[in-house]
Every structure is written in structure tokens, then in C-alpha cells.
Amino acid sequence: MHATSSTLSRRAFFGAASAAALTPAAAVLAADAPTPASSPTPARVVAPPEGRRLLLSCKLGMITDKSGSRKLTLAERLSLAREAGFDGVDLDQAADYTVEQAREAVEQSGVFVHNAINHAHWEKRLTSPNAEDRDAGRKNIEHCIRVAHAAGGCGVLIVIGRGADGSPEEVEERARTEIKRLIPLAAVYGQPILIENVWNQMFYDHDGKPEQGPEQFIRFVDSFRSPWVGMYYDLGNHWKYGQPGEWIRAFGHRCVKLDVKGFSRARDKFVDITSPDDDLPWADVRKALQEIGFAGWATAEVGGGDVARLKVVREQMQRAFGL
């Protein structure tokens, strides 16, 4: 589907998502749907601030996890994010926690966890020619879906694989097959599967020149014809390949969440957000987000540290988005 062909708004995206769970397609979900007894209870209601279109988050992995000789608990780490002024946290270390631990940490800290990630997706890839690796990768994502639901969140980020795993047609079809198998569980738990654009040689020309477009990403997302598959668009990752404002406008409703980092085209390296070396066009990013009616989470993915460092990152994000 062409980038401009869809007229769905972001509101329609989530409205369709809610309706999907009530359609006759439920019969198709039966094989993968959890029974009530096996479903983790969502966390006690913990909500981010109301009335704001853009909410700021950091990755759990950015939060210093040592305090002297004592390792901080998950609840304590979440609380540090709130102390630094973030609205919530992206649980990018979901593999380290059970659904019960995630739920309890949210209840204890009162901090909203909006997403879950399992970094094993780089090793156990959905595009792997090895069926056992693909199975492991799919099960890792299933765990993230359950953790995100238990924490009260609203999505899972995935890296679908590597272009080097085969021909473009082979790797795309492997990824599509596995994601299709995940959609029923995503629908049951209300957790969209969100694809991140990364340097994995898929859906862009890794050795190509700048000013590439996101059409290949859009075509892949649209191939599922599902409200449960979207984009977790990383603004910094592909600034060296294309204009982020143009990508946001093209993604439209498919742009569900944002990863945020600075990047210098001049130096060809990641840098702090809005630092003197960061030449990412933030003004156009803000304009594009406004044009598509974006409302959701923007998550920092940069070097972290203690509360003082996290506050610096949060202030950088506020400058980038004009908050």
C-alpha cells in the first residue's frame, strides 16, 4: 500500500484495535488465546499524567541499578525514573522479569510501564533460517506481550531480524509468518506489536545515500492488514538515511511510539539529544507529529546513569519536542 493511501487516524487505529477483539476472528484466536486461569492479572491502575499528547519515558536499562553494594529492586529503579521527571518507563529488560514481578513493581512504585522489550531478538530472530531460533524468538515476544499486559502497558517493541539471514524475500516472509502467529495473542492482551527501524539491512539500503523513504517499512506493516501491527519509530536510527519529518508524515497512524536519540550526520555517530553535534531537524519533527495528530510515548534510548543524568536526558527531550 502506498504511504499516502490510508486515511485512518491514530484514533481510528486504536478504535479498530479495540473492535478487533470482538469480531468473528475470535475463532481464529482460540488456539493461542490464554484461558482466564492462565492470564496474568493486570497491575493495579497506575496512570501517567492526563491531558498531554506527548509523554516522556526512558528505557529501564538507562537507570543505574546499583546503590553502593546493594542491587536496586525493579520497583526502586522505576521510582528513580519518576524522580527524574519521566512519565513512565519502557521495560527493555523484560526477559529478566516474570509477569508477577512486573505487576508487583508497578504497584509498589506507582510508575507506569508502557512497553516491554526482549533484547534477545538480535540472537533469536524471526528471520533466522533456523526454525528453533524462530520459535525461541516468537516465545520471547509472547513473554513480552504478557509482561506488558501485566504491567498495565500498551505495546511491545520488536526487532524482526537481519537482512543477512537470506534473500530479501526469504527474510521478509519468515518475519511475516512469525508475526502473524503472534497477532492473536497481541489481540487477546491488547498489546500492539511495534516494529523498530534499526540498522539490520531490512527495508532500507544500508549502504545507500541519504534521503531514502520509509515505503518498504510501510508496505511490510500494511501487509498484515491488522490494527495490532505498527511502528515504534526510532528518530535517530535512520536520520542518516532519510528525513524524520517526512517519515513521520508517511507513517501516519502507523507511527504508534517513538524512540529518541540524537545523531550527527556530519560526524556519523549517535550523540546526546539536542547537543551541539545533534543535527537532527527537531523543528520539522515537531511539525510532522502535530500534522499526523500524534499522541503517545516518546522514549529516550541514550546513555543513562543516576537521577542527575536522567534529569539531563529528560530536559533534552523537552527541548527537542518544545515542551
The pLDDT score that the predictor gives to residue 24 is 33
| Residue 102 maps to a domain | yes
Reported confidence tier of residue 51, pLDDT bands at 50, 70, 90: confident
Contact, 90 vs 156, CB < 8 A? no
Collapsing DSSP to helix, strand or coil, 187 comes out as: helix
| Residue 43 maps to a domain | no
CATH number of the domain encompassing residue 275: 3.20.20.150
The pLDDT score that the predictor gives to residue 39 is 53
Phi, psi of 70 (to 5 degrees): -105, 130
Provide long-range contacts, Cβ within 8 A and 24+ apart, for 207-214: 208/241, 210/240, 210/241, 210/242, 210/265, 211/241, 211/242, 211/243, 212/238, 212/241, 212/242, 213/3, 213/242, 213/246, 213/247, 213/250, 214/3, 214/238, 214/242, 214/247, 214/250, 214/251
Contact, 149 vs 126, CB < 8 A? no
- Distance between CA atoms of residues 150 and 117, nearest Å: 14
The pLDDT score that the predictor gives to residue 321 is 97
Find the angle CA(215)-CA(248)-CA(19) to the nearest 5 degrees. Answer: 85
The distance from CA 160 to its chain's CA centroid, rounded to whole angstroms, is 12
Contact, 318 vs 56, CB < 8 A? yes
| Residue 310 maps to a domain | yes
Collapsing DSSP to helix, strand or coil, 270 comes out as: strand
Q: Which domain covers residue 84, as residue numbers?
A: 10-21+52-321
* pLDDT tens-digit series, residues 158-171: 999 999 999 999 99
- Considering its fold, how many domains does the chain have in total? 1
Reported confidence tier of residue 305, pLDDT bands at 50, 70, 90: very high
Reported confidence tier of residue 43, pLDDT bands at 50, 70, 90: low
The pLDDT score that the predictor gives to residue 41 is 59
Question: Structure pTM?
Answer: 0.85
The cell for 186 is: 497481541
| Residue 164 maps to a domain | yes
| Residue 274 maps to a domain | yes
Reported confidence tier of residue 279, pLDDT bands at 50, 70, 90: very high
| Residue 27 maps to a domain | no
| Residue 127 maps to a domain | yes
CA distances from 138 to 113, 131, 144, 176, 183 (A): 22, 11, 10, 12, 11
| Residue 314 maps to a domain | yes
pLDDT score of 140 more than 60: yes
Reported confidence tier of residue 20, pLDDT bands at 50, 70, 90: very low
* Closest-CA residue to 201 (of 248, 177, 167): 167
The pLDDT score that the predictor gives to residue 202 is 96
Chain mean pLDDT for the chain: 88
